[in-house]
Amino acid sequence: MISTFVLATATTVSWSPKVALVMILCNIAAIAIGKFTIQKPNVGPGLPSPNLFGGLSLGALLGTTSLGHILGAGIILGLANVGAL
């Protein structure tokens, strides 16, 4: 009952530069969090320009950007629901 109510009240927002900026900031924040919390961030296949991504390996980068997209989706939906986007 509650889950259908939550789905019914969720608002969607169309893609705009504001939405893109929120997603980019969430991904940058997730990469920063990952850089300081992952115990071995450079184990595994490297990236062509490791300094651009904080010295993370491919696996660490995929993990942190996945977290960034989860955070970004939640923040975008929250801001859209409040009316800030």
Query: What are the pLDDT digits (tens) for 32-81?
Result: 998 899 888 888 888 787 777 778 888 888 999 999 999 999 999 999 98
Q: Tell me what pLDDT residue 41 has.
A: 81
For the four alpha carbons of 17, 19, 20 and 24, in that order, the dihedral sign comes to: positive
Amino acid at 31: I
What pTM does this model have? 0.78
Radius of gyration of the chain (CA): 16
Residue bearing tokens 């970004």: 72
* Closest listed residue to residue 83, CA positions, set 11, 7, 8, 5: 11
